[in-house]
Amino acid sequence: MEKLTLTRPDDWHLHLRDGTAMAAVLPDTARRFARAIVMPNLKPPVTTVALAAAYRDRILAALPAGMSFSPLMTLYLTDNMPPSEIDAVKTSGFVHAVKLYPAGATTNSDAGVSDLKYCSATLARMEKLGVPLLVHGEVTDPAVDIFDREAVFIDTVLSPLLCDFSALNVVLEHVTTKNGIDFVRDSGANVAATLTAHHLLLNRNAIFAGGIRPHNYCLPVLKRETHRLALVAAAISGNPKFFLGTDSAPHAQSAKETACGCAGCYTAHAGIELYAEAFEAAGALDKLEGFASFFGADFYGLPRNTAQISLRRESIAIPARLDYIDGDRLVPLRAGESVAWRLE
Ligand code: NCD
Ligand code: ZN
């Protein structure tokens, strides 16, 4: 297939940052995706509907003229978010979910949840009002092997959570293991997962290819090949529980190329093209549209997009660096290499 036309996709997991960083990255997403679920892990985090409204206004103000893009906002769950905030979410019309970061799990997660027992009343309200909980599914105990943290989270946190709140809508974000895929597939229709392009394309060898590769380091960390194969199988299965979420997470080059580099891969510059590569490699380009353009909207109870985009099969060079903030640059995934599809 030389040309691929799809209903315009959405990105159900995106980090847009704020200020000049946001202005630098937003056009990459807006060019491709009609909507995106915008992560709330700013500093300080987006913990109230009022903060989300202000953040949404800043995103819309930074959107270049003539681009159509709708940011779908989220709140950052803390130990003391009151249930009344969930009522405000429900009436806002622009906040679509609440994100659980176990405290310390990833970038800007210090204010996250220390123990879900503190959130019971708020989770009960979410379950009642149908507000989805988006989950960063890793335990933070440093004694647990980093490659096992998702599997241990499923057993010790997610599974008990769904026993207590069996009707809660949950998205296991950026699922990276066969354990996660099996869990989501075997749960009720209220449990879904997003899959990133980089976890579909790379296994953990990519972090150590000929030396340490900080730009392939993200959380949850890339896993071994057996897990990658399970992710690809889920993505191309046509099962509507699995949909697109890039987890594009920009960090300045200086914050990645250092003794203790930040977690996060920037993929928005080829946000749909990389998925097309992964689906083509699996011989399943016909399954891309459901995954990228339909299933997420259906899960969130939002209308499917009607506009279309086209990709042409043509190798496109990816720059070694992109402009970012204050003279600091951003190194995108595949920097200095190429991607096999071009957005028309
Ligand atoms: C994300 C970030 O940088 O905000 N990093 C990442 O590695 N994915 C946070 C997250 O989603 O874990
Ligand atoms: Zn993320």
Helix, strand, or coil here: 329? strand
Whether the Cβ atoms of residue 176 and residue 227 lie closer than 8 Å to each other: yes
Q: In what order do the strands lie in the sheet with 35-38?
A: 11-14, 35-38, 70-76, 95-100, 133-135, 170-172, 191-195, 242-244
CA of 110 to the centre of ligand 2 (A): 15
Please count the other Cβ atoms lying within 10 Å of the Cβ belonging to residue 257.
13
Q: Which atom of ligand 1 is nearest to the CA of 219?
A: 7
Domains of the chain: 8-304 (3.20.20.140)
**Which-ligand-closest: CA of 263?**
1
Taking the CA of residue 26 as centre, how many other CA atoms within 13 Å lie in the half-sphere pointing to its CB? 22
The whole-number pLDDT of residue 111 equals 84
* Residue located nearest, by CA, to atom 9 of ligand 1: 107
Enumerate residues 6+ apart whose C-beta is below 8 A from 88.
48, 49, 95
* Residue located nearest, by CA, to atom 5 of ligand 1: 264
**Which-ligand-closest: CA of 216?**
1
User: pLDDT tens digits, the chain, 344 residues: what are they?
Assistant: 799 999 999 999 999 999 999 999 999 999 999 999 999 999 999 999 999 999 999 999 999 999 999 999 999 999 999 999 999 999 999 999 999 999 887 777 778 999 999 999 999 999 999 999 999 999 999 999 999 999 999 999 999 999 999 999 999 999 999 999 999 999 999 999 999 999 999 999 999 999 999 999 999 999 999 999 999 999 999 999 999 999 999 999 999 999 999 999 999 999 999 999 999 999 999 999 999 999 999 999 999 999 999 999 999 999 999 999 988 999 999 999 999 999 99
Looking at residue 325, what DSSP letter applies? Answer: E
d(CA 182, CA 245): 18
The whole-number pLDDT of residue 56 equals 98
Q: Enumerate residues lining ligand 1, CB below 6 A.
A: 15, 41, 106-107, 136, 218-219, 247, 249, 263-264
Angle between helices 49-62 and 83-92 (to 10 degrees): 40
Residue of 135, 219, 223 to mutate, ligand 1, most atoms within 8 A of C-beta: 219
Q: Which one of the listed residues 10, 247, 323, 328 is annotated catalytic?
A: 247
Plot region of 52 (φ>0 → left; ψ -120 to 50 → alpha; else → beta) = alpha
CA of 214 to the centre of ligand 2 (A): 17
* pTM of the full structure: 0.98
Q: Is 247 a catalytic residue?
A: yes
Strands 328-330 and 322-325: antiparallel
d(CA 301, CA 285): 25
**Which-ligand-closest: CA of 176?**
1
CA of 275 to the centre of ligand 1 (A): 19
Looking at residue 158, what DSSP letter applies? Answer: I
The whole-number pLDDT of residue 105 equals 76
Q: Which atom of ligand 1 is nearest to the CA of 264?
A: 7
The whole-number pLDDT of residue 52 equals 98
Which of 190, 152, 193, 189 has the alpha carbon at shortest distance from 172? Answer: 193
Residue of 41, 74, 172 to mutate, ligand 1, most atoms within 8 A of C-beta: 41
d(CA 95, CA 91): 9
Helix, strand, or coil here: 306? coil
The whole-number pLDDT of residue 259 equals 97
Enumerate residues 6+ apart whose C-beta is below 8 A from 47.
40, 75, 76, 78, 81, 85, 111
Q: Where are the alpha helices (DSSP H) in the chain?
A: 19-32, 49-62, 83-92, 120-129, 149-153, 159-164, 178-186, 197-201, 225-235, 253-256, 273-281, 288-289, 295-300
